[in-house]
């Protein structure tokens, strides 16, 4: 292997794929389909409110090791119950079921890569790096996102939490991905947006880490300290430290 060629493992949601943009596009569709109930509400507000509930439920399942179905059964219902609707309990339950079906079917098909992701992946592959995905989510949904963005072919493998029954930052999901790629942890990088789930988890197994921080969030001295931090994909491959 050439000394500059490395194994790079990428998170997907909020790292390569802009979850916030995709969520707002999906909520816009739901609002248009159910205009009689959801029309007249500010799109940015309802998108943010739903996203917060969704994120809270995802935190629960990741911390407790529960399945994604836990989120799907609750997020729309909790959101509808949090806003003022002139509907009966039975009508809210029915509406939440319909909205969840449409949301689940639509969300992974939103073509929302962060700026310069495609050109960066092109550059990394041209330099000879081997690319992989490690993501919390289902293989079906995450594969659809990669396919929709047209980047599925860049990656040698995709490791999802449902495949190995473990969410990041647990060691098992990183170990599964490294074993599958036949690469040692010290020869691999993890690139992601979450200090806890991507950076801390990867560091615990011995991988080097790069923190994608597009919103320039601050971190404290007690937070995990990544090997590198970047805010834009445009020059990521130029900033990536080479193997010593």
pLDDT grade for 244, boundaries at 50, 70 and 90: low
Checking if the pLDDT of 4 tops 90, the result is: no
Query: Region 221-238: what's the mean pLDDT?
Result: 92
One domain for residues 142 and 198 = yes
pLDDT value at position 34? 95
Bridge partners, 158 (sequence order): 133
CA atoms of 57 and 196, how far apart (whole Å)? 17
pLDDT (tens digit, 9 = 90+) per residue, 160-206? 999 999 999 999 999 999 999 999 999 999 999 999 999 999 999 99
Specify the residue for token string 């193997």.
Answer: 243
One domain for residues 128 and 74 = no
How many domains in the chain?
2
55-59, 86-90, 113-117, 171-175: least confident range: 86-90
pLDDT value at position 1? 39
The answer to whether residue 2 sits within a structural domain is no
One domain for residues 157 and 61 = no
Between 235 and 55, the more confident residue is 55
What own/partner pairs with CB < 8 Å and gap ≥ 24 does 39-45 have? 41/83
pLDDT value at position 40? 86
Query: Region 78-100: what's the mean pLDDT?
Result: 93
CATH number, domain with residue 24: 1.10.150
One domain for residues 13 and 23 = no
One domain for residues 177 and 82 = no
Query: Region 101-112: what's the mean pLDDT?
Result: 98
SS3 228: strand
The answer to whether residue 136 sits within a structural domain is yes
Query: Region 99-109: what's the mean pLDDT?
Result: 98
Bridge partners, 208 (sequence order): 189
CATH number, domain with residue 204: 3.40.50.1000
The residue among 71, 86, 109 that closes a domain is 109
Percent of the chain with pLDDT over 90: 90
pLDDT (tens digit, 9 = 90+) per residue, 46-85? 999 999 999 999 999 999 999 999 999 999 999 999 998 8
pLDDT value at position 143? 98
Closest by CA position to 121, among listed 96, 155, 147 = 155
Instruction: Count CB-CB contacts under 10 A for residue 101.
Output: 12
pLDDT value at position 192? 98
Instruction: Count CB-CB contacts under 10 A for residue 213.
Output: 16
pLDDT value at position 115? 97
One domain for residues 124 and 104 = no
One domain for residues 191 and 140 = yes
Give the domain extent around 42.
19-109
One domain for residues 154 and 172 = yes
The residue among 79, 109, 139 that closes a domain is 109
Percent of the chain with pLDDT over 70: 97
| pTM recorded for the entire structure | 0.94
One domain for residues 207 and 158 = yes
Checking if the pLDDT of 3 tops 90, the result is: no
One domain for residues 149 and 177 = yes
pLDDT value at position 243? 60
The residue among 109, 125, 148 that closes a domain is 109
pLDDT grade for 2, boundaries at 50, 70 and 90: very low
């Amino acid at each position: 292997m050439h000394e500059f060629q490395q194994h790079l493992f990428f998170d997907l949601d909020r790292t390569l794929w802009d979850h916030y943009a995709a969520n707002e596009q999906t909520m816009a569709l739901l609002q248009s389909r159910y205009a009689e109930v959801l029309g007249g509400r500010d799109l940015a507000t309802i998108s943010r409110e739903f996203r917060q509930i969704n994120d809270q439920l995802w935190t629960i399942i990741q911390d407790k090791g529960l399945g994604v179905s836990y989120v799907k059964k609750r997020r729309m219902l909790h959101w509808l119950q949090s806003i003022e609707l002139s509907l009966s309990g039975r009508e809210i339950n029915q509406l939440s079921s319909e909205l969840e079906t449409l949301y689940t079917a639509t969300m992974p098909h939103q073509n929302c890569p962060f700026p310069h992701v495609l050109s960066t992946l092109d550059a990394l592959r041209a330099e000879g790096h081997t690319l992989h995905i490690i993501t919390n989510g289902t293989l079906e949904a995450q594969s659809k996102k990669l396919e929709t963005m047209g980047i599925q072919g860049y990656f040698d493998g995709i490791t999802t939490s449902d495949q190995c029954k473990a969410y990041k930052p647990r060691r098992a999901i990183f170990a599964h991905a490294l074993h599958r790629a036949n690469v040692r942890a010290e020869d691999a990088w993890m690139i992601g947006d979450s200090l806890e789930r991507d950076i801390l988890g990867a560091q615990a197994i011995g991988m080097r880490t790069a923190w994608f921080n597009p919103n320039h969030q601050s971190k404290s001295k007690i937070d995990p300290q990544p090997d590198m931090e970047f805010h834009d994909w445009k020059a990521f491959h130029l900033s990536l430290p080479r193997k010593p």
